[in-house]
Chains A and B, each alone.
Chain A
Amino acid sequence: MHSKSKKMPNKRDKCGILKTTCFLCHGGCVLRAHIRAGKLVNLEGDPEGPLNLGSICEKGKAAVQYVYSPYRLRHPLKRAGKRGAGKWKRISWDEALDITAYNLLKIRDKYGGESIAYAWGTCRVVHSYPRHIFYNGVLGTPNGIGVGHICLTKTRMPVMNMTVGPIPGLAQTGILRDIDRADCIVAWGDTLIDSRNDGMGGVGKKLAGKLSGGCKLIVIDPVFTRAASKADIWLPIRPGTDLALALSWLNIIISEGLYDQKFVAKWTNAPFLVRCDTKKLLRESEIFNGGDSQKFIYWDQTSRFVKVWNHDRYMDFENTEPALAGSYGILLKNGSEVECRPVWQVLQDNVREWTPEKTAKVTWISSEKIRESARMYAGSGAACIEWGVSMSQCSRSTATNQAILHLKAITGNMDIPGGNAFWHIPGYKPSGTPLPVGQEEKRITGGYVFSNPAMSPMPSAHQPAVWKAAATGDPYTIRALYGESSNPLVGHEKPDRFILEALKKMDFIVWSDITMTPSTQWADIILPVNTPFERDWVHDAFDMGLFAGQAVIEPVGESRSDFYIFRDLCRKMGNPDLWPWETERELCDWKLESLDIDFEKLIKTCFYPAPEIWNKHEKGLLRSDKNPGYPTPSGKLELYASLLEEVELDPLPVFSYPPECYETTPQLAKDYPYILITGSRELNFPYFHTQYHYVSWLREMEPYPPVLLHPETAMGLGITEGNWVWIETKHGKARFKARVTKRIHPKVISVCHGWWYPELPAPAHGVFESNANVLVDPQGATDPASGTTELRGLLCKAYKADGPPQGVKDNSEV
């Protein structure tokens, strides 16, 4: 035997180590960056990272290839040929910003700020809040277009808003949770392990540790995912029927008395009376002369008389006993009597039909599992629901999200240790600038109420409506676009219709991004931006608190942080006062000003914990008047949403089938016999939506766009593993590569989203070849409040393709 080995060069030699935080997904993993001679050579998980506990994922490990990718944009570019022809000329930053400022000013001054739209991505590479200084303050445009209506800002945030009111910080999203202390975790339409949701960078290690320690896991997913394989109960739900399951859980939990009775009676609007005739909440003005139309009524069982709930000053139901059940004849001030029932009674009546047996027929989950899982969620102590985005990707998104929020509320799992947390750091400053007077009204909302500030804490335009406006001039013409690290031709719905047309028509397009994408190819000016490893930043969109990352290397090429781009544009466009910071660090310090820490100190740990204060509604920490309760119109957690009632929408969740399905459109189902899921994170696994397909270590894990098919289905269609397959809906078709697996229901087909081919020739980069978004239609059936497009639970057909898209080399095809 030999006794010594030949030494290989050790990449840790002569390395300095700098702490920073990963932001390649929604982030939050604290890392140790190994730097040699100014170059990033390695990243390791930092054991002190409170989310990742020392682990790091495949994306973080591949980051070196991402940062130094040959695909990266290294200097500003100006279009050299026809727009979209893919011909570019290198220019200086000064010239690029001068051209940008000149064109945006010209268009703003001539047509108004609303004629400039900005497209935002997942905000990996920008300072999330200050960018609104530029968009709102300088451009003055209400037309920001993103994916809020199929993600967070226009679906879950308004639902949280109408139920618990506008609450501070990112708790508004309703997705924060305290995994560390949970006794039961429900991954509802969330792949947990694959998805790396907000602040879930370290979910693997935490989850694995928790499950070993006896914490229960319930996974609700049509596909047997990695998380499902570790679940105590997996509910294999039929796509698009989550609302039925949620209503059934409510029914079981209420009828079996598994809810938190004290919480429901004291903190929710369960006792408020609802008129049986109008289905509206009874108001004081309806029963007393001079009564307030904003005051609600309940029935006191002690005095056997109606009482007025006074939400102006906090008042418990002291000395009264509000009725939660029954039916009461109430005398109106006009002398007529009307039958009224407490909200809790109405809610129970609303869910009563959803027996496990009926629900089993709709959702394809066995009634035993429905019962068992509802009991497990409500009976396991502290439980948190990991609120997947899939419920926000159907045309019943408001009702579905509301029903799931009801579950969290009535089981008393909101803002408790181990439940769905309201993490918040008092004093931390997000910043922004309001729109100029009169601009809010010009927002293109598509008629959806969740675009309005009254309903949504982060109001935004309705993206499909803005693209349509840009293409058709209805309601008015969008003339310019500021693209900010977003890729609408891949990431937005039905891009082969209005979006492409709009990009051709606009007068001026500027795009900032890390690499060229099929979308940036349509720009006039390209601004190369930094990766998170070249920037200083603080961000609060995580569980547990505030995270910070520091620039561990100098910018690659001439790339710059969006901070400096916005700073210089503010200056060049005549608003230097709006952007008072010279450097990113100054901005970070300003954000931290009211806390006992500055950036320099913060990056020693990269983490600033949110104070451990629970049940903030009891302590007067949610309302601006400091009274206990919630900042809703009634001061109560509104199970019966008065804000929805005001806009003539159902105040309680009501089930309906997907707009395309066997029940709704049996004729269509004859031609399109399978249920299609688009957008599962499982199939987007080494990527992050449209990002990282050019990172080789990641791409080799998933080299081709996958489609999941059950073996029976595949066999019936003459498809075998690895075949290229056309997936076609009535809206469009695209090609994917078959992965034949028993993990999916024979009637269901799942395709990956966010796919483009960086290696295929510019400018198209194969943008529509394997693009799940050409299969959906945002102008079709949508959620009435949020305008959510149906992305999951559409009908489709599948058939074998001749081969891969033109130019795609697939040596593995059999």
Chain B
Amino acid sequence: MTTQCGILIDLNKCTGCNACIVACKQEFDLPPRMNALPGTKGFSFIRVECIGPEGEYPALWMYYQPIFCMHCADPPCVEVCPSEAIYKQTNGLVLIDKEACTGCEACLPACPYDVICMDNDQAVARKCDLCEHLIEQGHQPACVAACNGGAMTSGDLGDEKSDISKSREGAGKDCFVLKPENATRPSIYYLEFRKKSSNRLEIPR
């Protein structure tokens, strides 16, 4: 079985606190692109989407969902990169070679998850590398370590005995990937948000 680093995110535990975003920015020194002056948006490798609120007040439901590079088994960004700057590493990570990237932006629309962004200062495409430098040293990615809700588990999806594989196995049908129809085979899995008794509405997947 080949190695495939991935993350499993329990949507019941994500509190939408954005700590993962700042942890990521901190880890990579991503510029906020504003010196406390609003108006220009910085970029980040993670976004936390609020799904909902759906329903009508007060019968509502919502949850938060962090989205970042899915480190797909079949990554479309690798396919479209004309300079072969994006590649899949042996541990399953999808990485961008900064030296080789020409900043042509071909990968941006190719990604179904909209998680590649342009670093205009360096004129290269950038995205989450799952903190490869930390994984190599046996640490967790910065977002996973920081996670305020303890919602994220990282590990090797290729290893049946890893915590992440066991959790995914245990969750069965509750475990899903985003946009399976694109057949990119993402390595970021989500545990479905379960509605509580007060949220008397069905939640569509």
For window 702-747 of A, CB contacts with B under 8 Å fall at 703-704, 710, 741-746
The segment from B33-41, B112-120, B158-166, B173-181 found at the interface with A is B33-41
A473 in the interface (beta carbon within 8 A): no
Assuming A57-B17, A61-B19, A61-B26, is B41 touching A700 (CB within 8 A)? yes
Which residues of B lie under 8 Å from residue A62 when comparing CB positions?
A: 22, 26
Docked-complex contact B150 and A809, CB < 8 angstroms: no
A208 in the interface (beta carbon within 8 A): yes
Docked-complex contact B26 and A696, CB < 8 angstroms: no
The segment from B102-110, B141-149, B182-190 found at the interface with A is B141-149
Docked-complex contact A45 and B38, CB < 8 angstroms: no
A58 in the interface (beta carbon within 8 A): yes
Docked-complex contact B150 and A699, CB < 8 angstroms: no
Task: Write the nearest CB–CB distance from B134 to chain A, whole angstroms.
Answer: 8
Which of B23, B33, B41 has a CB less than 8 Å from the CB of A56? B23
As a 0/1 sequence over residues 570 to 600 of chain A, the CB contacts with chain B under 8 angstroms (1 = contact) are 0000000000000000000000000000000
Please report whether the interface of chain B is mostly helix, strand, loop or mixed according to DSSP. loop
A207 to B150, CA, bound (A): 10
Which residues of A lie under 8 Å from residue B12 when comparing CB positions?
A: 208, 211-212, 230
A1 in the interface (beta carbon within 8 A): yes
Which of B18, B89, B134, B150 has a CB less than 8 Å from the CB of A701? B18
A44 in the interface (beta carbon within 8 A): yes
A71 to B36, CA, bound (A): 10
Closest to A194 in B: B17
A545 in the interface (beta carbon within 8 A): no
Docked-complex contact B146 and A61, CB < 8 angstroms: yes
Task: Write the nearest CB–CB distance from B97 to chain A, whole angstroms.
Answer: 6
Please report whether the interface of chain A is mostly helix, strand, loop or mixed according to DSSP. loop
Closest to B16 in A: A226
Task: Write the nearest CB–CB distance from B88 to chain A, whole angstroms.
Answer: 5
Docked-complex contact B145 and A700, CB < 8 angstroms: no
A229 to B53, CA, bound (A): 9
Assuming A62-B22, A741-B53, A758-B36, is B147 touching A55 (CB within 8 A)? yes
Assuming A694-B36, A699-B36, is B57 touching A742 (CB within 8 A)? yes
As a 0/1 sequence over residues 89 to 102 of chain B, the CB contacts with chain A under 8 angstroms (1 = contact) are 11001010111000
Range of interface residues on chain B? 35 or more
As a 0/1 sequence over residues 797 to 814 of chain A, the CB contacts with chain B under 8 angstroms (1 = contact) are 000000000001111100
Report the interface size for chain A: residues with CB under 8 A from the other chain: 72
Closest to A47 in B: B145
B32 in the interface (beta carbon within 8 A): yes
Which residues of B lie under 8 Å from residue A71 when comparing CB positions?
A: 36
Which residues of A lie under 8 Å from residue B29 when comparing CB positions?
A: 11
Which of A55, A204, A224 has a CB less than 8 Å from the CB of B60? A224
Docked-complex contact A693 and B36, CB < 8 angstroms: yes
A694 to B40, CA, bound (A): 15
A232 in the interface (beta carbon within 8 A): yes
Which residues of B lie under 8 Å from residue A808 when comparing CB positions?
A: 38
A704 to B41, CA, bound (A): 13
Closest to B12 in A: A212
Docked-complex contact B60 and A743, CB < 8 angstroms: yes
Which of A704, A745, A759 has a CB less than 8 Å from the CB of B57? A745
A328 to B147, CA, bound (A): 61
Docked-complex contact A45 and B64, CB < 8 angstroms: no
Task: Write the nearest CB–CB distance from B195 to chain A, whole angstroms.
Answer: 10
Which residues of B lie under 8 Å from residue A60 when comparing CB positions?
A: 19
A418 in the interface (beta carbon within 8 A): no
Most buried by A among B29, B37, B134: B37
A5 in the interface (beta carbon within 8 A): yes
Assuming A54-B145, A695-B36, is B58 touching A224 (CB within 8 A)? yes
A234 in the interface (beta carbon within 8 A): yes
A-B pairs with beta carbons under 8 Å apart, 18 shown: A5-B129, A10-B133, A12-B133, A57-B19, A58-B21, A61-B26, A71-B36, A204-B149, A208-B10, A226-B16, A226-B17, A230-B15, A231-B198, A694-B36, A696-B35, A701-B18, A703-B38, A743-B53
5 nearest A-B residue pairs (beta carbon): A703-B38, A204-B148, A696-B32, A208-B13, A61-B22
A residues neighboring B (CB under 8 Å): 1-3, 5-8, 10-12, 42, 44-45, 53-58, 60-62, 64-65, 70-71, 193-194, 202, 204-205, 207-209, 211-212, 224, 226, 229-234, 236, 369, 686, 693-701, 703-704, 710, 741-746, 758-759, 808-812
